[in-house]
Chains A and B, each alone.
Chain A
Amino acid sequence: MTDVRADAFDAAPARQSERERVEAENRQLAEERKKIARDGPKLKGEKLAARLDLAWRRPRGIIGWLATVDHKEIGRRYIITALGFFVLGGIMALLMRLQLAQPDSNLIGAERYNQLFTMHGSTMMFLFAVPVMEGVAVYIIPLMLGTRSTAFPRLNAFSYYMYLFGGLMLWGAFVLNIAPDVGWFAYTPLSGPQFSPGKRADVWAQMITFTEVAALAAAVVLTSTILKCRAPGMTLARMPLFAWAMLVVAVMIIFSMPSVALCSGMLISDRLVGTNFYNAAEHGDALLWQHLFWFFGHPEVYIIFLPATGFVSVMVETFCRRPVFGHAVVVLALISTGILAFGLWVHHMFATGLPRVGYSFYTAASMSVSIPTGLQIFCWLATIWDGRPRFQVPMLYVVGFIVTFVIGGLTGVMVAAVPLDLQLHDTYFVVAHFHYVLIGGAVFPLLGIFTYWFPKITGRMMNDTVGKVSFWLVFVGFHLTFFPMHLSGLLGMPRRVYTYPAGLGLEVPNLLSTLGTFILAAAVVLFVVNGLISLYRGVIAGPNPWGAASLEWATSSPPPVYNFEHIPVVESDTPLWDVEGELPVVTGLRVDEKEILLTTVVAAAPDLREPVPAASLWPLIGAMAVGIVFVASIFSPWALVFGLVPCGIAFAAWFWPKELKRNPEPVIS
């Protein structure tokens, strides 16, 4: 810290008082520089905000945009991309329903129809449902936990790019007429080398690999963030229920995704180099696919559903103006659902002829998994009972969720029984069941949470009246579409048929379903239009327009790039309701470098100050390298060998150990 004006001073002789004045100014400058490395009582307000913004913002321009590691930007991208895929998947559904509106219809031929339902299922399950939950979590969890960034922000960026490239590959294949046509679960031997010639099933299997890598990466990010990056004082017991839900979901992803990666990898291997994993003639087994796929597939639906229960807990708490009843019960229910979900997968295979005694265990397990969910529902209803509910749009979606999801859960109990499942499996009854639990149980809360967190993300409220109209359109459209499917399943309509004969009684239910689909489509369009218009003309929202209790509402809307000016300290599970005036905060984090506070896992005592990586292009480059390897390996096994080179380069550059060339910290006096 040399005095820059020393030369000038020496060169020109000056009067005594002027020299003193300059000296005093220099001393003041040096003092200030010593004090402003960390936030604290001496650095706050606008000056603190400016310093934090300088430290945390990413480089401007396209490179900075591609290189961002800001969880809010990545979360927004996830959500918007997932909504895009939702619309594409919905268009597939609309086309399917047009073909099924009438018996013996020839609007869409068999092969195209098979591609449509494969694209619909794969898009909704792999490219919409899980990524949108991850995206919302990636955006809101650091805010909810009172920290400035997720753990592993570059891995977060990598996860998004892998997801994007996987989705683009699948839809690019659709445009190029190599869309998969084997159904979203691609049973072997239909998806094997003999019965699915060409590259369609390979495209599907590699899309799985992309999205599985992306989901695993996001799960690692979320687990670490939730366990280590919470605000001081936010013990596990005080952690919001949505964070608990995402913790359970992230661990479930880590345990279940490898199974589908394995089985799709084995399928690619069978198709590419002639291995015999699924070839019964060479002592492989067609059922191996089903076991491995459903070992992933069943937890997958809970991976989609549990974040939605987190959403419901958030909305019920805010709109009933009291904490959720039975906080501990809900947490235990989330954990036990997550664990039990791994023991149910054979209920997808009740018709395959495995020993009946074994099936009874899966019937019992499948029924018992509804107990924790039933408990959660009780807790929400008890919160409503003891609270003061307000019927704003998110609460409407909560009510819609309860009305709809419980029906789905009950039909699920029906198909858990083997004798019933043997009639209902692979019919439209099951289609009705899973749409009730997936749309009722996940999409309704999702639409509610979009309305709820829209002000936080964008700074404006969504239009209330349009929101209410959207809700009713979605509700009516959904039930009109899917309730008749219970009947068409019972009347003998199997799944995945591009047409059905007249005279079986299926005409009326199918026509009603098609009409309902149009109402649903209108509802989605209206919701999106509401979002787009509210972006520019919505009522400006303050930091906490709903009067909610959790930490994300303690900062401005939208949050600044550094989330919080000071890291808050938490003393209860509803911090904003329990503190008069300003929240207590911790000070002492650096403001000249990106840094977050890590806390201990259970008690959230301050533990470490962790530097946060700067914006970097290597996640994008790494994702492109890996993406090229995956796509090329559809055509040749050599891609896996030669692809190690670009991947190796990208990852070496990403992980290259950096000398900590940080500015040495000044000593604080």
Chain B
Amino acid sequence: MAALIGAASAGARTFTATSAHGLALMHEMLHWAAGARLPIVMANVNRAMGPPWSVWTDQNDSLSQRDTGWMQVYCESNQEVLDSVIQAYRVAERVFMPAMLVLDAFVLSHTAEQIEIPDQSLVDEYLPPYRPIYKLDPNDPRSFGALAPPDVYMELRYKMHQAMEDALDEWARADEEFSELFGRRYGLIEPYRADDAKILLVTSGTVTSTAREVIDELRAEGRRVGLLKIRVFRPFPAQLVREALRNAEKVAVIDRNISFGMGGIFAQEIKSALYNSPERPPIFGFVAGLGGRDITPKVIREIIDYTESHDEPEDLIWVGVKR
């Protein structure tokens, strides 16, 4: 990451990929990349943190980096990963914040999936060359990252937050223009069969694909259930989430992560987004699939059944844990 920071500071477009402990190891430099306002793009394969060693998927690695100032996009398919890389450069280079694409270990990584590789000339049209306003240049010597006293530091942090706010619009615009050129769009969030749903399931990553199947089955059985996929996690599309959830009677969030001593992180974020909203349905927080345990259609059915059969919401429900 430090090599990328050096290269991006000197005006190059940069990319790397990592996973789990590699990501944790670069934690300090994630702050540095964001604080330096460098539009670095990185793919992170979601893998569980050790010990004990695990190579299987969960989201604790990337969610531990939530507050570093990186944009985070949780992808559902390999096509979405590739498309999101292109979109991420577009957004990152407009708001000058780094972006992380997140994909589930072994479900997306280490697997083969047919994808459409976008035409280079169309990508060039979509993504103009990176021309930073400032860079390390002997013809225009400047100092980057020098000590900032209290009278300026806070303003720099304010600007980072503003950039993240701007990024919400930029992601929407990037997605819109991407769809015009390439015919695919993903949204910051994606509701699926959600319109008249009494129970809304909230997912991220590849669990979403499994959930789509289950929702279709349950709909066929006449049950009013729907799905909300959270794709862009930072910046958090709070307003979109509020609107998407407002009419649900109950919300069930599947978290493939755990903040020890509190609960699932997506559930926390969603509750936080809804708290000041007049319409806030009860939220059930499910933690499932840690360390790569499969979240099967059966597991998702159980989650929906549990939500349907309980009146009082619960902050943390462990799914399938052997006690």
**A in complex with B:** no
| Chain B contacts to A: CB under 8 angstroms | none
| Chain A contacts to B: CB under 8 angstroms | none
